[in-house]
Amino acid sequence: MNLRPVTDDRLVSCHHLSCAYGDNVVVSDVTFDVERGEFVGIVGPSGSGKTTLLRAILGMAKPAHGEVTTRKDVRLGYVPQVESVDWNFPVKVLEVIVMTRAQRRVLPRITPAERRDANDMLERIGLGGLGDRHIRELSGGQQQRVFIARALFHNPDLLVLDEPTTGVDVRTRHEVLHLLADLHREGISVLLTTHDLNGLAAHLPRLVCLNREIIADGSPREVLVPDVLERLYGAPMYVLEHGGMPVVLDHTEGVVVEPLRPRAV
Amino acid sequence: MSGGLAADLFEPYGFEFFRNGTVVAVVAGALCGLLGVFVILRGMSYIGHGLSHAVFGGAAASAVMNFNYFIGAGLWGVVSGVLIGRIARRRILGADAAIGVVTTASFAIGLALLNRYGQAKRSIEAVLFGSVLGVKTGDIVAVAIVSLLAVGVIVVGYRHLLFSTFDPEVASVSGVRVSVMEVTLMVMLSLTILVTMRVIGTLLISALLVIPAATTRMLTSRFSRMLWLSPVIGASGAFLGMNLAYHTDTSAAAMIIIVCATAFTGVYFASGVRGKRRSAALGHL
């Protein structure tokens, strides 16, 4: 199903990419592109190779076969999982934001221009006035936003996020999704991994279904179908439609779903 | 203060060995405090411990072969540090296992050389337990040079070091050469251990790398503040420890560590919930 036309707007291209840890192949013969202006989600079960594929795109994992090519001078902004860092580390929000400009300045002090830019960035993502807070004092959703702000401070062409809604509550998930949608509307390309089919993946314009190899590539309506999902998760799954969007249910044998009726008072 | 007490307090400064020893100890305390910030925030406490044991092997080999201590033990320590980093990065072994293999092997080689060539015993004991008696002008110059180098590296590489310590993966994606930062820190750590070992000794040096920085972590949540406060605590501990050691006729290295540990304990109990929460964040110590 990977029949997307090749264009010159490609930011990242994976060409017959395979990655392995020793003899264990975790990504096999993956070919797909991310073009400028796209919003792409890589979905699949735990251990399906999503994070490894992302790491290969970011240059952190070495391909066993094939290659990853990026557009010349493309800037990638990486947002790792929130759990990946020590939130007790002794830094303030502002210091985290300006970290990605480490290459541009040698001396330690944050310049007035950097401070102004960082505060503008915090305003943009709804964290205005929190620059002098210690990062531990933020909520889970605010911490995720700080990571996104740090990546945006790098002026990326492509924002790459690893499981941005893992371990967060429903409200935070909505905040993150809306923020990413806003950024996409502003012209930022987005590539993310998620295993959250209903909460996140179903809302994205394009999904790449990965289980070691690409099972399907297309819009949620095209790929969130029982046949693809069974191949992706190795178990029968059902798809309902709600508000014009697919809603995925796992195996419901023996469960009778009845419409809710108002209780008699 | 009575004149007699003041005279007693200043008495040791009449001896050149004590003046030299105090200068080296104070600068060493500041240097260890400075690098200790990175040691504790990167969860490298065991590396500091292991590297000091590894350098012991180089010191023993240098003594036996009548080779320059700084060059022999320094090269040995730097090679051990880089080797630990490489083994750990391959992820076949954990960092703790890599340190265990490299440093204990190095320590064992030092012990074997000590047993085989017994005439080196005296200088080796000084390396193991530290000694202010043997401090020479060359030691002062060496510790001063390494301190200036460390300050220069940290000022110039501040942002890269901070980013690669906080979030190495994103730092790497953002263009920071994380492996270069790691090697730089390992080299600085090896050099620090090398120039401070003769005063503090192999067996206690890791404590000076950890305690001042851990104490500082309970006092502040600012990385930049840790970088000056930790050296101040390390230097103060060394100064007090040297003087107490003279007046109580005990080991200078042991007294320096006892003073620093007492400061840690005092801050732990005095800093309340916030400080304890910060120290709890150093679970990897």
Per-residue model confidence as pLDDT tens digits over B72-131 = 888 888 788 777 767 766 666 666 777 778 788 888 888 788 777 765 555 666 667 777
Residues on A contacting B at a C-beta cutoff of 8 Å: 58-60, 76, 78, 80, 84-86, 88-92, 95-96, 99-103, 105-108, 134, 136, 150-151, 154
Q: Are strands A76-79 and A65-70 parallel, antiparallel or unpaired?
A: unpaired
pLDDT, tens digit (0-9, with 9 covering 90-100), for B155-197: 988 889 999 999 998 998 888 899 899 889 888 988 888 888 8
pLDDT category at A72 given cuts 50, 70, 90 is confident
Cα(B50)–Cα(B40) distance, integer angstroms: 14
Cα(A70)–Cα(A190) distance, integer angstroms: 14
Cα(B193)–Cα(B185) distance, integer angstroms: 12
pLDDT, tens digit (0-9, with 9 covering 90-100), for A177-229: 888 898 899 889 999 998 888 877 888 899 999 999 999 898 888 888 888 88
Q: Is the pLDDT of residue A103 over 70?
A: no
In contact, A2 and A16? CB cutoff 8 Å: no
**Among the partner residues B156, B162, B220, nearest to A106 by beta-carbon distance:** B156
| B167 neighbourhood in chain A, CB within 8 Å | 80, 84-85, 99
Cα(B223)–Cα(B213) distance, integer angstroms: 11
The average confidence (pLDDT) of chain A is 84
Q: How far is B24 from chain A (nearest CA, A)?
A: 28
**Among the partner residues A60, A89, A106, nearest to B166 by beta-carbon distance:** A89
In contact, A151 and A78? CB cutoff 8 Å: yes
Q: How far apart, in Å, are the Cα atoms of B217 and each of A48, B233, B278?
A: 40, 11, 7
| B226 neighbourhood in chain A, CB within 8 Å | 90
- Alpha carbon dihedral A55, A58, A64, A68, in 10-degree steps, equals 140
Q: Is the pLDDT of residue B216 over 90?
A: yes
pLDDT for the residue numbered B277: 62
The average confidence (pLDDT) of chain B is 83
Find the residue in A nearest to B158 (Cα): A108
Sign of the alpha-carbon torsion through B82, B84, B90, B91:
negative
pLDDT for the residue numbered A90: 92
| A91 neighbourhood in chain B, CB within 8 Å | 162, 166, 222-223
Q: Is B174 close to A102, i.e. CB distance below 8 A?
A: yes
Residues 6 or more apart in contact with residue B259 via CB below 8 angstroms: B237, B240, B241, B244
- Residue type at B173 in one-letter notation: V
Question: Quick count: other Cβ atoms within 10 Å of Cβ B196?
Answer: 29
Q: Is B171 close to A58, i.e. CB distance below 8 A?
A: no
Residues on B contacting A at a C-beta cutoff of 8 Å: 41, 155-160, 162-163, 165-167, 169-176, 217, 220-226, 277-278, 281
Q: Which one-letter DSSP state was computed for residue B14? A: G
Q: How far is A21 from chain B (nearest CA, A)?
A: 10
Residues in chain A: 265
Q: Is the pLDDT of residue A175 over 70?
A: yes
pLDDT for the residue numbered A261: 52
In contact, A4 and A32? CB cutoff 8 Å: yes
| B225 neighbourhood in chain A, CB within 8 Å | 90
Q: What is the 3-state secondary structure (H, E, C) of chain A?
A: CCCCCCCCCEEEEEEEEEEEECCEEEEEEEEEEEECCCEEEEECCCCCCHHHHHHHHCCCCCCCEEEEEECCCCCEEEECCHHHCCCCCCCEHHHHHHHHHCCCCCCCCCCHHHHHHHHHHHHHCCCCCCCCCEHHHCCHHHHHHHHHHHHHCCCCCEEEEECCCCCCCHHHHHHHHHHHHHHHHCCCEEEEEECCCCCCHHHCCEEEEEECEEEEEECHHHHCCHHHHHHHHCCCCEEEEECCEEEEECCCCCCCCCCCCCCCC
Q: Is B220 close to A76, i.e. CB distance below 8 A?
A: no
**Among the partner residues A88, A102, A134, nearest to B163 by beta-carbon distance:** A102
Cα(B49)–Cα(B60) distance, integer angstroms: 17
